[in-house]
Amino acid sequence: MNEFFKYEKIEHKSGLKILLLLMKGFKTSYAVLGANYGSVDTEFIRDGKKLSVPAGTAHFLEHKLFENEDCDAFSRYAETGASANAFTSFDKTCYLFRTTDNFKKSLEILLDFSLNPYFSEETVAKEQGIIAEEIKMYRDNPGWQAFFGMLGGMYKNHPVKTDIAGSEESIAKITPKILYDCYNAFYNVNNMVLAVSGKIDKEEILSVCDEMIKPQKKVEIEKISPQEPEEIVKNRVITEMTGVIPVYALGYKEKIGNDILRQELLSSIVLDMFAGDISPLYKRMYNSGIINDSFSAEVFSGRDYLSFVFEGEGGNAERVAEEIEKEASALRNNFPKELFEIAKRELYGRNARAFDGVESLGNLSVSMYFAGHEPLDAVKIIETITAEEAENYFKKILNPNRSVLSVAGNGGIK
């Protein structure tokens, strides 16, 4: 796989880590600047001082960085022809652009707006109104409500249970000072990474970084994760939404091991065997009409949390839960080893395909960097996972006592 791209990791004199991924034959360049800061980071210690901030602050900060006193970054990108965006997840915030031309100018824009913040009482108040409308919009989304209802039933203390955007009440507490406090803690370049993939000019990238980024003193940050019990909060959550087709999210809260990446990959293999479209369970439920094309199964994981999540729409939520628990009980005694190699190859293929696109490779590199890994580590680990390891792991997961069924829509749980 690495014959298709050349990977180099550089520590810039400013303290910023730079990941260069030259992809042979590509005409497109993609850059993503990541901050190791997400929605779950509501409590942290900076240089010995504990700070607590409102839910939604990381997402709010992402929005505000695009604006300064004169104009917004999107207007500047329009002049270069680059396609730009940003996103906040539970554990990181990323700013990105893709272009086939004017890469140097586009990179200058990225580093300029992200490393020179401007917040005022007036602009913060304006953004509070914008994000409040965004929060209201998701309140009308049954899938979103079912998912976070499930997380609320699953996690007692972990902030992953809270909407990435926060709530109308929490964002109303955000001030310019809070934004600057979080920015100065997490947007220190020593705690960030820049990944550039596709068509790359190493010297051009380093020249822009030399010009745009000043060396910064490293900030010591300790993220605080509250103690989370193994038990769930409650096993059933109903969110009534009149006139809306019911949507369900069934989650199983799992214990976190010492090697989270290996556990994530192992979880993906056994989940595909258990409930993927290659599994007898999926075929049986689909053919009998218990599930439809909306059904999905995923491993939901991050720092200090991992769960198996099954989602879909329709009024058969309770029946789906019964079938999943019945199948899990049966397979603990008769693990389908014949499906192991198929699931393992499919996972390997999905991870390998990330190296085929500039965006997927750039984003993967940032995620892996923050997890303490190199881009190729996942495919290397997949190769070492055995059927015996998968069977032993399966016996420990999908405990019905740690399951939560959440339904949002008209009619509740049937």
- Tell whether the torsion through CA atoms of 282, 321, 252 and 293 is positive or negative: positive
* Residues sharing a CB contact under 8 Å with residue 322, sequence separation 6 or more, in sequence order: none
Q: How far is residue 171's CA from residue 79's CA, in Å, rounded to a whole number?
A: 33
Q: What is the DSSP letter of 72?
A: B
Q: Which of 44, 51, 36, 55 is nearest to 165 (CA)?
A: 55
Which element (helix H / strand E) includes 33? Answer: strand 29-35
Q: How far is residue 20's CA from residue 216's CA, in Å, rounded to a whole number?
A: 22
Q: Does residue 165 contact residue 267 with C-beta atoms inside 8 Å?
A: no
Beta bridge pairs of residue 72: 67
Strand order in the sheet with 43-46: 49-52, 43-46, 221-223
- Residue carrying the six token digits 């984003």: 363
In this structure, the strands spanning 83-88 and 403-409 are unpaired
- Residue carrying the six token digits 């989650």: 251
Q: Is 62 designated active site? A: yes
Burial class (CB in 10 A: 0-12, 13-18, 19+), 334: exposed
Compute and round to an integer the Cα radius of gyration of the chain: 23
Q: How far is residue 235's CA from residue 401's CA, in Å, rounded to a whole number?
A: 8
Q: How far is residue 107's CA from residue 112's CA, in Å, rounded to a whole number?
A: 8
CA–chain centroid gap for 385, Å, is: 24
The catalytic position among 62, 254, 264, 327 is 62
Q: How far is residue 230's CA from residue 285's CA, in Å, rounded to a whole number?
A: 30
Region at 296 (left for phi over 0; alpha for psi -120 to 50; beta for the rest): beta
Q: Centre a 10 Å sphere on the Cβ of residue 408 and count the other Cβ atoms it contains.
A: 27
Region at 56 (left for phi over 0; alpha for psi -120 to 50; beta for the rest): left
Q: What is the DSSP letter of 219?
A: P
- Point out the residues that are catalytic: 62
